[in-house]
Structure 1
C-alpha cells in the first residue's frame, strides 16, 4: 500500500524555528516514544522524509531539521560549512527538545556523514546513540563516485557553476542518480527545487560541497567508530545508485564486522522518495530485531547477508 505524501506547503506550516550559532534553523517534531533523529542529504532538506514521517511518528518521537545551508534554514553566504558543525547542530536541537535518552538515527547521503560523526562522538562519550541506519551515502570516500555536477562544484570555478545551477540542472542531475522507473515527477522536482532555491541557496553550493574532501579528512576516525561495534547499524541502499549504490554496500560488507545490509533492486540514490514502503519495511524490521535482541540477550541479530527488497 503506497504511503501518503505530505505536500510541501503543509510541511512548511508545521515547522518551528530556533537559533543556532546566530542562524535561524527550521525543525520538525511529531509522535511520542523513543527519539528518532532523521538527517537529510545534499542538496535537499528534511522534506525528503515526508512519506515516512507519519508512519514513523506513529511509533517514535521523530525529529528532523533543515541543516544550516539547506531547505528553509539560514544559508549565510560566506559561512564555512562543515559536517562537524552540522553534528553540533543536531546535538543542539536535541538539547533544545530536552531529549536525554539514547537517540536512534536514520540518515541519508550528506546526513550519513553527520551520523558517522555522531557515532564517533558516542564512542568518545559525547553523544548517546541507540542505533543507526544509513541510506545511500558516501560512507567510504574510496567508493564515492562523483557525478559531473559535484566535480564542477569542487573545481576552482565551482562558485560560477553554483550560481548557474537551475531547475533544469536539478532535473538533469536527478535523472542520472534515481532509478530508471522511480524518477521524481515534475511536481516533486518543483518542490525540491523550491527548497534548494529558498534563501538564495544556489549561491552556496560550492561551499556546501566541501563535505566531500571533509569525508576524506575524517575517514579513519569514522570508519573505526563503525567497526567498533556496540551500536546496532544497518545500511538500506538503492542498488543502482551510481554514486553510492551496490558497490558501496560491497565495501561496507568488507569493512564492517557482521555487516547488516539491504539492497533495493532498481532503486537509486533517494530510496526514501523512490521506494518509501520498502525503506519503512526494512527499517521497522531492523527495529524489531533490536527489540528481540533486548528481550533475549542470547538471540542473534540478522547480519552478514544482503537482504533483497521486492517492490
Structure 2
C-alpha cells in the first residue's frame, strides 16, 4: 500500500474560498503550469478520500480538490437545499478562483460522479471545458444504483432523525457492507473518516444531502446523452464487489456507452481509491498516457 497523508497534515494544508457566503475548504498541489486535474469526492466523506493518490498525481498534474458544500471541513448550512447542480457550480467557482480557464481533467467518485456528469453535460453545452473524465464507483445510471439501508432511511420521512443518530459505529457498519472483504478500513482510518463527517455537525444535514438520489433520476437523460456523444474521453475504474455500484453498474455502462473503456478491480468495493490506490493510480496513468499518444 502506498503512503497516504495523515488527516491532521491534510487539514493543515487546506485553504478557504467563499461561495455565496459559505466557506469552503480546498486543496491544490503540483506545478501550477501542469495540466489541471480536478478530484471530486463522494458521499458522505470528503476530499481526504484522495490522500493516497494526492502526491503521486501531484508529481504529474496540478491537482485540485474541495470539500463540497455540506461535506468534510466545508460549511454545512442548516435548512439548505443541497443540489448536485450547485455542487457543479462550486467546482466551476473553485476553478475560477484559481484562475484556471483551459480544459480540465476530472477524476470523480460516488456522489462526485454525478457532479462530473453535470460538468460533462455543461461541456456539451459549451459552459466548461472538460479534457477527460474517469469515474470510480458511483451511480452513473439510476436504474443500477442499489442504495444501502441507511441511504433509504435518510430519504424517508425518518431522514432527519436517522441523520442525527448516525454515528461512528453506524459508519463502520455501513463501510463493512460496501468495502471489499479484505480491504475494510482499520479503526484509526475509520476515526478519520468519522471526524470529517462529524465536523460542523455533519449528521444534521445528511438527510438533505441524500436528495442527490432523486436528482440523478431527473437529470439522467441529459447526463447519459452527454456521456454517449464521445466528445470527452471517459474511463470507469470500478471495484467489482461493491454492492451499490459494482460490476452490475459496469455491465450497464457497457450497454449504454459507445466503445466503453472499463476496468474492474477484483475483490475491491466501493472506495477503490483507498482500498487499492496503487491499482487506481496505475489504471488512471495508463488512461492518461493513452490520451497523450492519440
Structure 2: 5+ residue stretches without partners: none
Could you tell me the TM-score, scaled by structure 2's length?
0.99
1:202 and 2:203 correspond: yes
State the partner residue of 1:27.
26
Q: 1-side partners of 2:148 and 2:65: how far apart? A: 27
State the partner residue of 1:141.
142
State the partner residue of 1:16.
15
CA offsets 1:175-204 (integer angstroms, 9 cap, x no match): 000000000010000000000000000000
Q: How many residues align?
A: 292
Could you tell me the TM-score, scaled by structure 1's length?
0.94
Q: 2-side partners of 1:12 and 1:24: how far apart? A: 15
CA offsets 1:129-182 (integer angstroms, 9 cap, x no match): 000000000000000001100010011111110100001000000000000000
Q: 2-side partners of 1:146 and 1:195: how far apart? A: 22
Matched ranges for 1:1-311 at <5 A: 2-32=1-31, 33-293=34-294
Give, in angstroms, the shift of residue 84 of structure 1.
0.2
Give, in angstroms, the shift of residue 212 of structure 1.
0.2
Q: 2-side partners of 1:28 and 1:77: how far apart? A: 24
Q: 1-side partners of 2:229 and 2:236: how far apart? A: 16
Give, in angstroms, the shift of residue 224 of structure 1.
0.3
Structure 1: 5+ residue stretches without partners: 294-311
Give, in angstroms, the shift of residue 25 of structure 1.
0.1
Give, in angstroms, the shift of residue 227 of structure 1.
0.3
Give, in angstroms, the shift of residue 219 of structure 1.
0.2
CA offsets 1:7-65 (integer angstroms, 9 cap, x no match): 00000000000100100000000002000000000000000000000000000000000
Task: Identify which of structures 1 and 2 has the higher relative contact order when contacts are C-alpha pairs closer than 8 Å and 6+ apart.
Answer: 2
Calculate the aligned-residue CA RMSD, in Å: 0.4
Q: 2-side partners of 1:230 and 1:171: how far apart? A: 40
Residue aligned with 1:258, SS: coil
Q: Which runs of 4+ in 1 moved over 4 A?
A: none
Q: 2-side partners of 1:108 and 1:162: how far apart? A: 22
Give, in angstroms, the shift of residue 5 of structure 1.
1.0
Residue aligned with 2:127, SS: coil
Q: 2-side partners of 1:149 and 1:174: how far apart? A: 11
